[in-house]
Every structure is written in C-alpha cells, then in structure tokens.
Structure 1
Amino acid sequence: MSDRLRDMGDHAGFAWQRRLRELAPQVLGALLRHHGGFDACEDALQEALLAATTQWPVQGVPADPKAWLITVASRRFVDRYRSDTARAGRERALAVLAPADPVAVPQADDTLTLFLLCCHPALTPPSQVALTLRAVGGLTTAEIARGLLVSEATVAQRISRAKQRVRASGARFELPGAADRAARVRSVTEVLYLIFTEGSTASSGPTVDRAELSAEAIRLTRRLHAQVPDDGEIAGLLALMLLTEARGAARTTPSGDLVPLSEQDRGRWDTAAIAEGTALITHTLRTAPIGPYQLQAAIAAVHDEAGRPEDTDWGQILVLYDLLDRLAPGPMVTLNRVVALGMARGPAVALEELQAARAEAAVAGHYRFDAVHGYLLDLAGEHAAARACYARAAGRTLSLPEQRYLRSRATDARTAGENR
C-alpha cells in the first residue's frame, strides 16, 4: 500500500482500505461468474486493488468504485490470458472469454458463495483461513502474515496451494445443494471462529491479542450473518465475538500484561458491543435450535452482565457449560466447566472433577490443565502445590503475556503460603 494512501487513510479513518475490503468479495464474485478460474480471477482482483490504491488517491474515487474494479480486474484477466502462449488455441478461446462489452456489474451479492468456496472440504483449515482472509476479507499477503504470525512466504504458499486444490477439485462458483450447503456453512463458521480466537487470544508471541485479526473476524461474520440471517449458530457466533471483544480494552495493562476477568476494570468494557451481543443472543435463543456457539455466547453474556466479579451467576454458567459439554465436548469445555464448578460449589468438588478429567490426554496435555489446577489449589489454600502448577503451566505456553501472568500467580501463591 502506498505511503500516500496510508497518509490519506490516517485523515479519513482508513475509509479507502475499508471500502476496498468491502468491495473485494463482490468483485471477485463477478469475475468468477464471468470468467471462471479461481486462481486467475483472484490474481486479477489483487492487481485491480493495487491499481486502486495508487490511482484513486491521485485521480479521485470513481463514481462507481465496484464497476471500476470489475472493469480493471477483467482487463487484467484478459491481458494475462493473452500473454500466456503455453497452450494452443488461446486466441481463439479469447474471443469467447473476453467480449467487447465490459463485465456487467451484478446486483446479487456472491459473498456466501465465495465463503463456501474458500472453505471447500478439499482444503486444510490453515488454507481455508488464509484463503478466506484473502478472497473474502480482501487482506494482502503481508496483512495475513502479520495477523497469523507466519512469514509472507508461508501465507503465499498456503494461498497458492488452496487455489490449486480448488481447481483440482472441480469446484464451481455456485451455491451447493441444501444438504451440502449446511455442512459447508458449518465449516465457514469454524474458520471464522479460528480467526477470531487467534485474534482475541494469541496462541504465541509477545502480545495478548491481535486486534486486527479479531476485528476482521467480526467484520466477516457480520457479512455472513447478513447473508444467512436465520441461522442460529451464525448469529450465536457473532454474539460471542461481540461479547468477548467488548472486554478487549480491559484485558491488558498499559505495559501489555494480561489482566484476568476477575480483576478487569469493567468500566472500560464496551457497553454498546455488550448490548448488541446480548440482544442478538437473547433473540437467537428464542427463535433457533440451540447450538454450541449460542451457548458460548450465553456464557459470555452472563459474565458481561455482572457489574462486579462477585455478582457473576456461576450457577447459571455451570448449567450452560453442562449443556455445552453434551453438545460439543472438548478439552477447553471440560476445563472451563471445572472452573465454573469450583466457583459455584467450591474448589474441593472441582478438584475431584479435574482429577477425573486427567485421564483424557487432550485435557491433561494442555497447559491450561496446570493453570486451572493451580487456580483451584490456590482457592483451596494449598499454595505450595498451586505454585508448582502455575510454574509448570508457564513453561508450557508459547504466549509471553501468559507466561508472565502465570509466573506472577506462582509468586502470589508463594506469598500467600508464607503469610499463612
């Protein structure tokens, strides 16, 4: 992105970048419908976006930005097709593929179709994430690399392989049948959840979160919700993101250290996001079959509605985790439920449950097992044992803020033990 565009974005709230990202999937959809060939169309789109970033700041935004991008991208597609002489008969085929009239600007929004194509079952989850951020999100390779904390070369390779697999699978740019569509939409929500989770709680690196990534996940989930407004799980996922992100400003100290939920300044929580997320999940629970994302959103809403930590309705949270454990069991559900059990019924009962859960390798093998164990031991007054658990957990996480926080908890446990 040019320095001039970045400077202009600073004065206009990055309106240029936001507008281009909004238009990117619509333009790609138009190209795919007209030309076919995902990889070639996506390359043409990226060239058109680059042209926009260099020309619009100088010449002004066109009256119809979408039509401008479609026209430029289509020309780039045709130019690339003409220059490729490796296949016989290109010029004859070109007469069919590139009519004299410009590509018509479609009225339909192809965003859902594009989501489903990017989350094709032939692709691995990392490839689905990268391709979704690129094709639907309109992010550059460098932006995706920064968000995922991997090299640009790795992202470029994932995107390239994803395009090849989409082409090899014979996938067409069209909505699948109703039965297949439901499964594919679930894949899309899983990808968006992965993006948000990595943005909200970075699995490694020097920062607690990656705000740009979580913000992009929310933006894309809003788009998906607009496409499928009656899907309860998509609505639940959006509510979960809003209710979780609402606490973002209070999750770290000015120096970047992690602040646990019980110690956060709740006056810094985003009340507008909480209100929107709560209204969304309340409506969804009343009108749609209950699913895992809705239950997670309901748990987040109970936390966000508590004015003080001691006001938290842990009994309700425990009931919701019991339901979630039946619908979508997993290591994190197990550990979070144990914490809720400890808060609702006391650490002794929760420690028994945690010991029973140790038999599951996926639970015992995660650093949060030791963190939860330390927390419950601390509550039970067993500070020396808690200190050892916290130290062990700190050595198993790749997140530097998590390491600092867990070591500080170990110190607090030691101090509590010495002062008994």
Structure 2
Amino acid sequence: MSFAAGAMCAAVQPASAQQTLPAVLADGPPSAVPVAVQIARWHMLDGDINSLTFRSMDRLFTTRTVAHAGTPWRLPRADAPLDVSYTFGGKRYTAQDFLDRTYTNALLVMKDGKIVSEIYRNNSDENSRFIGWSMTKSVTSLLVGCALAEGRIKSLDDNITTYLPELKGGGYDGATIRQILQMRSGVDYEERYDFANPGIAARNHIDALVKNVARFADAARTVKRLHEPGSVFQYKTLDTAVLGWLIERVSGTTVAAYTAQKLWEPLGAEQDGFYIMDGQPGTGREFSGAGFNATLRDYGRIGQMMLDGGRANGRQVVPADWVRTSTAPSTPADPSVPGMPTGYAMQWWLLDNSGAYSAVGLQGQFIYVDPRSRTVVVKISYFPPGDEKPTAETGAFLKAVSAWSPK
C-alpha cells in the first residue's frame, strides 16, 4: 500500500477516543488530575504492572523530597551465598524458589550489621526508590518518638485534640496519641478496599490519592466513633494519617522536612527519599500512612538503626526508649496463624511473640528486625492484589533467615 493510500485509509477511520474515567472515578467532585494519570493511579496496584509502578511513584504523583546530606552511613559487607532453605505448606524450598514464588523485586539480608546478601530483580537496582506502602507507618512512629523526645509532644497519653482541635466533637475526640499509635482509636473506619463498592476507606483513597480532591487526613474530622478508645484493635491508615498531621502541627514544618531533619540526615541515608502527596503543590499533604519511598539499602539502614537501639552513623538518632516502647506488643500475635503479621505494637507488626518485629507494607513490603539473631531483612515485592499466601510464605522465610548462619 502506498503512503497516500494509507493516509486516505486512515482518514476514513474514526478517531480514537480519549480515555474515559470508570464510573467510580467519575463520581464525586471533578478533578484537575489528567484523566490518563487518574487511570494509571487506579491501576497501579494491578499484578501485571506493579513490579514497575511500585518503583515509579514519582512519575505518577506529586512528591515531596526527603533530602539526604553528609557522608552516608557505611554498611560493611560480608557477602555470602544465600543458601538458606525453608519449609512452607509441607514442602521444602530454596532461597531462589522464594524469590520467584513471592514476587520479589529486591532483597537485602544483614547479619550483625553487615550486608550478606543484596539482590535486585526485574530491572531494579541500587538506585531504585521503592514505595514502602504501610512500612511508612513505622517511619511515622519514629517521627512521633523524635517529637516526644524534643518535648513537642508532652505525653503519649494526651488527647489528640490537645494538638489537633479540628478533631473535637468527632470520633477522635477522647482518643489519646498512644491509642492511635496502637491502632486503638475506636473510630469507625473499616480498612476495606472494595473499589467496585467503595466504603469510607476506598472512597478516601479515590478522592485523596487518585483524584486529589481531598486531603487524606481530613476524613478524621467527620469520622464517627465505633468503639471506646483503647478497647479494640482495628488497623486503619487513617490513624497514621492523623499522626502525620500531628507531626506537621507540632514541628511547625512539613512531614518531609521533619523526616529529613530528624531521621534521614542523621541516619546517614545515601539517597534522597520522597513522599507521594495527596494533592498538588501548595495544597497536598504527605501521605504519612503509606506514601514513603526509598532505596533498598536505606530501608536497611532503618532496620539496622532499630536493631542497634536507635543508633546509626555514630549517633543516637531515635531514643533507645522509643525503640523499646514502640515495638513492645500492645496486641499479642496469634500463634494459630503462622507466618502472618497478627500482633501489633506502635505502628510495627509482630509475626510472633519472640521479640522480632517488622514494618509491613501492602503487597509484600517488609523491614524485618530480629534482635535475637541480630538479623535485618528488607524485602520489596509486587504481590498480586488480595493474595495473602505470599505473606505467609515470607513469614516462613524470615524465620529461616533469622536462624541461618552464612558460610
């Protein structure tokens, strides 16, 4: 076919339509976010693309940088073959099996302060900055500990409305900072993301993160109370968003700036981190419940700092008392559910009641710390949405790695 004939043929074809929003996104206030970007955010969790989107969040969202500065904290190496094996579902598997079976993008294993294994997959590398999802909650806990040590927060047993009077008269009125840290605020916010039939949590995700027509923490102003504060554990990202709002208020600066000042710079991070924002520049707030991004090794530095009682890079970054307090169980782990994170502390999960704890993020993100064996493991994953089996298998692997002695 000649070029002219091809052009004529193309001319009689109907023009391809611009993407249109699914009904659940079209519902509600109009958004200034381009349609194509909204749709990309809508699909970012999908199992066929999340190995890429989970390390490309700065392409999908407005972000705020958490700057590193100074000489990075050098992590010594003692590289060794990852010849650990583990049992799951009655079968024995190798570490290579584990990487494949549990959708691993990157894995870091540290023993007694030394890197013994560092693995990148699927075209990721040491410069890739991965979203931590709810591992961010553990970062927010560290910031609360810093604000408490500085006297910006007088007591964990203060009512949250002492600092955020905007919450008076709502479900959070009467809840203490401690109860919110423990996910025991009692507010009526079910962490359920049925996007086809969105409830309060899914609607908040859509409006704040996909469409940028609301600030995520503002749902705390109107949420109702379901339980007496302190009486019932119920995991909810809104609690951590309130803690981020608290940090913003008591520090007098942004969450990103406070993270850089109190954690990222003294930690000796080697690269900038960043938060995704729930709005455009000048209007958005850092998504302090699930929006922090960093490199594999910098997540490892967080884990090693926790293992070393809050010390990193030759200095005390987070008070040792806060490390102990924030990782002490407020909800013991359920031993009848092996491998799954069922116990809770203050924004840290417990896989069992052995003293080990972990930051855990959506679809397979882990910073695991075991003080008994002085082991830190960071696993960055791309689990399919709604599949819990890889989480249980990861729990089996983490226990095996803790007991493993590199040769």
* TM tier relative to shorter chain: under 0.3
> Going by fraction, where is helix more abundant, 1 or 2?
1
- When Rg is computed on C-alpha atoms for both structures, the one with the higher figure is 1
Q: Which is bigger in relative contact order (C-alpha 8 A, separation at least 6)?
A: 2
> TM-score normalized by structure 1?
0.25
> Going by fraction, where is strand more abundant, 1 or 2?
2
> TM-score normalized by structure 2?
0.25
